[in-house]
Amino acid sequence: MAATPAKRRHKVRRRADMSLLGGIRPPIAVLSVLLLSLAGITALNLGRTVQDPVAKAVLTSQQQFAEDGAIALRASIDESFTDLGRTANLFNAGAPASPDAVLDKVSSVYQKWTGTAVVQISSGKLLAARGENVPLTAVDTTKLRAKDGLSPRMVRLANGETRLLSFAVLSWPGTPQQLLVASSNLRFPGISLGQFRSIAVIDDEAEILSSDGIPEPEQVRTATQRADAKRAEKQLKSFAKTAAVKVRRNPISAREPGSGGFPGVSGSLVGAVHTGDRSIAGYASLAGPQPGEPTIATGLGLSVVAMVPVSENPTAVAGPLFGLIAAGALAVIGALAVALLLGTVQRPLLRLFLESRRLTRGDLTRPVSSPAYGEAARIGRALERLRRQLLGEPAGAAAPQRRGRFARTGGFGSRGLVLVCGALLLVWCAPMLLLLNRADDTAVVPQQLVNDQRERTDTLTDRVRRALNEGQADLLSVATLIGSDTSPADMHTVLERTRLEHDRYQSLYVVDPSGKVVAHAGDTPHQPVSRAKAGHSIRVLNHSGKKPLIVGYAGIPSRSGSTVIGEFRIEFLNALLKRPGLGEVRVVDADQRVIGGNTGYRAFHRLPNERLRTLVAGTNQQTGISPHPSGILYRDGGSVQIAAAAPFVGGGAAKTLGWTVVSEQPAHSLAIPEYRRQNLTVLGGLLGMAAVAACLGWLHIVVVRPLRALADQAEALAGGDRRTVLYPRHHDEVGAVTRSLELVRQQLPAQPKRDTAPTAPSAPAAPATHAERT
């Protein structure tokens, strides 16, 4: 059914009046809300007094220290279990060996266990033992076939100490099965504690299984020292109870800032104050190297707690005045910018909408009220010319001419007004972003952060050294099991099994005295040699190229002159260096050439600056028995850097490499109050610029650009262009004015051709009725 003329007229009128849910109002409203919100955020964050007794950076550092301890302990337990099982498999692949021979070979290769024993499974009889007494009473040989029967277990000794027992089965055809048992303590391998720090391993019931750093009663001499030790032990137990509850949480929901991708649960704790020093602690659960991948160690339910006393710093960085002034300034500047947009862009556009709608309704008696400047003024003058044309004035009548620089644009355009508003708001954003609250090289960096950088670097150094020593011990274990009659195929089997069990090797191979490769597994050997340089079981064979070639050697006792060689993956070495909170870490050799790093580096190039080279040289100066790690805080041109270096010390084949681990990080990356305030100020400036760019860009796209195009179309229509149809782009104020101009175009008579002489003007035609127009 066709609509009646009255309904059609109502629909046309409603469509012409509908304007104003989009258009100019939403950008201005959103800008107002964003500026008010930013002012509130500025007042809340920069207007409160920063007075933390312990800097957040120090708490985060303790959390990361505990994570280092958890990683080292987990790796040690897993490595111990893997080495024992692999050693048993190697024995099982060869000829039967006596229990004493097995333990002698195990003891000669590995020194990680405090005691070892071989037990006959069927009878439970002890066949051989080495080292301290292994608590075999806790082993039920009848349950070894059960699920997890060979899993490690913890045993509490009568003296209160805890031992971790690992198991592997020795089995040869025609021989009763035997159980290889290894006992180890739960002390941390290679954790550098420094002064006054203590660390403990706890179970899921908050029981302290082992601890280090707190002196035993027989080690203290004075009553004051005994009281301090007792107080530290009490505080450590309190931290252990709290940590045991917190580590039960889900690692994802319990994630705390600063954890840096640690797959387990970790955090920091704040304790009591004594003589101006506050006890703080970090805790971390044992977790697998990858999230969701449990290991033997993670199934034991262990956690690590590290405690240290630090000096409190109750000095406030700044008061609330700056934040309140900044928030007030933003409110005032924002109000001026919004008022400018309302008065110079929105109101003239709304006035144009009302005037254009009046013309379409046939009200031609009053002249068009035109804005004073900009595109709105051009459209207003075009509407006035169109009003006169509707009254009968010819389209060719001369329009009033404007002179001056802005003759075409009608004065200062809407785009210029938007730019003025942006510049006005940048008066607040730019100083916040570039000038205010700058933390220069006088920023206070807690000494504990320098100490932690040094101790964590030393711990990382020991971790790298132990990993290389473990690799060389694996080679030695393989070498001792290769007999004089072992075939190349059997050698390949042993080498391939070792390579798959450890990701540290890229290739393993056996060479004879002439240097010929007898058997190999993995990648093609790069540079086979028959034997190691005297006293150097681990060497770097090249001194140039993209990757260092690090190899380990182990002579085969039963084959004089033959050697087992393993090439270490440099990626394995670099992965050990990736710990959060240390910044850029490099491993350098005795000539200060870079061997590895946790970020991009150029192999065999020197350290990037003279300060680090001097630090490494000074650290390697022997003081006493061996060199010691060192840390330094240096200030250079407004930049504050924390650096540390730790040389290879201790035993093992890797010591002869003469390597040093050096780390460096900028202080501004730490949660220090001065830098935190600077970062919040910069963030405020960035948020302000983002709000200004988004809202004013939005305004330019939906209003300014269509308004400039509409001004050209309106002037063309007033100049006599009756053929161009005006289509609204958006359903907003500009679109409403465009629809009104299109209705006016339809009401205007066709423009006569100008190729004839002008004739006398005829009487003005009566305006067409609405019914005629439709």
Q: How many angstroms separate the CA atoms of 554 and 368, rounded? A: 100
The string of pLDDT tens digits covering residues 451-505 is: 999 999 999 999 999 899 988 888 988 888 787 888 888 889 889 988 888 889 9
Amino acid 723: pLDDT: 87
Contact 185, 210 (CB under 8 A): yes
Give the DSSP letter of residue 248: T
Q: How many angstroms separate the CA atoms of 432 and 83, rounded? A: 58
The string of pLDDT tens digits covering residues 294-327 is: 888 888 889 999 999 998 865 555 668 888 999 9
CB proximity list for 177: less than 8 A, separation 6 or greater: 120, 121, 122, 169, 170, 171
| Cα→Cα distances 105→97, 114, 207, 391, 475, Å | 10, 15, 36, 115, 13
Q: What is the mean pLDDT of residues 242-271?
A: 77
Q: What is the mean pLDDT of residues 439-453?
A: 86
H or E element at residue 390: helix 374-390
CA neighbor of 317 nearest in space, from 53, 674, 45, 682: 674
Contact 550, 540 (CB under 8 A): yes
The string of pLDDT tens digits covering residues 650-663 is: 878 888 898 999 99
Contact 197, 308 (CB under 8 A): yes
DSSP three-state, residue 710: helix
Give the DSSP letter of residue 210: E
Sketch out the chain's domains with CATH numbers: 26-44+327-435+686-721 (no CATH), 56-311 (no CATH), 448-671 (3.30.450.20)
| Cα→Cα distances 714→384, 430, 487, 708, 731, Å | 11, 39, 96, 10, 18
The answer to which of 176-185, 192-201, 399-408 has the lowest mean pLDDT is: 399-408
CB proximity list for 654: less than 8 A, separation 6 or greater: 464, 465, 468, 469, 472, 538, 648
Q: Which two tokens stand for residue 436?
A: 């205010």
**pLDDT exceeds cutoff 80 at 403:** no
Q: How many angstroms separate the CA atoms of 315 and 312, rounded? A: 9
Beta bridge partners of 642: 633, 665
Q: What is the mean pLDDT of residues 208-223?
A: 84
CB proximity list for 587: less than 8 A, separation 6 or greater: 464, 573, 577, 594, 595, 596, 597, 659, 660, 661
Residue 69: CB atoms within 10 A of its CB come to: 27
Contact 451, 631 (CB under 8 A): yes
Q: Which of the pair, 76 or 7, is modelled with greater confidence?
A: 76
Give the DSSP letter of residue 574: H
